[in-house]
């Protein structure tokens, strides 16, 4: 029997009993993972590894509880704000909170004999040891969840980016138009900005704001433009990402198309631009899939007149 000090006193803890209980939890079958797969913290926390995350999410085989959901939350955040590690942890924390709540709901539905039994079942049988070790403990458990993972933050944090990203997507649409026909000339960032200015629609960013957003988003521009091309009801996948909707079960069906179209953006548009590094940075995590062609959106009458001039 080992005595363990706590802030409010000293309690006796039977470490042997705890170890025996842990052994029983670990005796349950674990979900096999591919050789060489990075652990969740390496993949999503310390530094985001887009290629590893996409490999996980595109693999049709199931993983352990919450693995893909937490990785999707990290991917969503990284797509919009690739350099903001704090926001990425905010999204991961929210995903973990929801996963724990889901496990608790399932455990309490079992009508076990006590809340303690339900809590043990939720954490160590339904969520399971792999979730607890690789995800929950990796983000410092309740120490982080107590201060992070608020929907009030994740649902609005990217709203400030909506108009600037929308302007970048207009630029990519015009670049797509140019890339479709070599006779129209080489697409480039400066040429796309000039075309946006020439058309002069409402709801676009200033030139300085465009350059600022481009610096922030350029390495993910293929993913952003591809997401904007995927219609979901009256909105797009990009609208859902900006709104912080991290429900993997809802968006899983669009994932393959999203990534394959992003690869097409790299090969069809970015590869024709003068900045080779732009192409290389975007295509690096997308090599897992073949490109899937898609047309640019329809142009307004005003746009058609400007493009013809």
* pLDDT at residue 123 is higher than 60: yes
Whole-angstrom Cα Rg for the chain: 23
Lowest mean pLDDT among 58-67, 189-198, 260-269: 189-198
Nearest to 257, CA basis, from 216, 228, 219, 297:
228
* Contact (Cβ atoms closer than 8 angstroms) between residue 137 and residue 40: no
Tell me the mean pLDDT in the region 247-276: 97
Instruction: Name the token pair of 179.
Output: 């890339």
Residue with structure tokens 């000039």? 194
* pLDDT at residue 144 is higher than 60: yes
Measured CA angle at 12 (ends 6, 18), to 5 deg: 100
Lowest mean pLDDT among 15-19, 173-177, 209-213: 15-19
User: Which band of pLDDT confidence, cut at 50, 70 and 90, is reported for residue 3?
Assistant: very low
* Contact (Cβ atoms closer than 8 angstroms) between residue 185 and residue 129: no
pTM score: 0.88
Instruction: Please give the backbone phi and psi of residue 83, each rounded to the nearest 5 degrees, phi first.
Output: -100, 0
* pLDDT at residue 8 is higher than 60: no
Tell me the mean pLDDT in the region 80-90: 92
How far apart, in whole angstroms, are the C-alpha atoms of residue 53 and residue 59?
Answer: 10
* Residue extents of the structural domains in the chain: 37-149, 159-308
Size (the chain), residues: 309
């Amino acid at each position: 029997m080992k005595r363990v000090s706590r802030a409010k006193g000293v309690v006796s803890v039977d470490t042997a009993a705890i170890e025996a209980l842990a052994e029983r939890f670990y005796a349950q079958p674990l979900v096999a993972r591919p050789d060489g797969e990075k652990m969740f913290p390496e993949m999503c926390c310390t530094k985001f590894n887009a290629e590893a995350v996409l490999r996980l999410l595109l693999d049709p085989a199931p993983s352990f509880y919450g693995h893909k959901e937490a990785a999707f939350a990290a991917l969503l955040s990284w797509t919009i704000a690739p350099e903001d590690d704090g926001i990425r942890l905010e999204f991961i924390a929210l995903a973990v909170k929801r996963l724990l709540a889901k496990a608790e709901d399932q455990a309490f539905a079992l009508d076990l004999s006590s809340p303690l039994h339900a809590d043990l079942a939720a954490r160590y049988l339904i969520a399971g040891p792999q979730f607890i070790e690789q995800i929950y403990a990796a983000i410092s458990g309740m120490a982080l969840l107590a201060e992070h993972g608020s929907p009030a933050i994740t649902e609005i944090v990217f709203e400030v980016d909506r108009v600037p990203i929308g302007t970048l997507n207009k630029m990519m649409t015009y670049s797509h138009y140019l890339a479709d026909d070599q006779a129209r000339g080489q697409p480039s960032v400066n040429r796309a900005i000039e075309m946006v200015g020439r058309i002069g629609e409402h709801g676009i960013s200033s030139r300085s704001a465009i350059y600022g957003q481009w610096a922030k988003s350029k390495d993910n521009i293929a993913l952003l433009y591809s997401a904007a091309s995927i219609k979901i009801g009256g909105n797009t996948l990009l609208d859902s990402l900006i709104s912080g909707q991290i429900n993997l079960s809802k968006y899983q069906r669009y994932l393959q198309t999203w990534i394959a179209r992003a690869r097409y953006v790299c090969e069809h548009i970015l590869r024709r631009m003068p900045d080779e590094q732009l192409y290389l940075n975007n295509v690096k995590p997308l090599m897992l899939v073949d490109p899937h062609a898609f047309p640019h959106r329809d142009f307004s009458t005003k746009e058609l007149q400007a493009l013809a001039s």
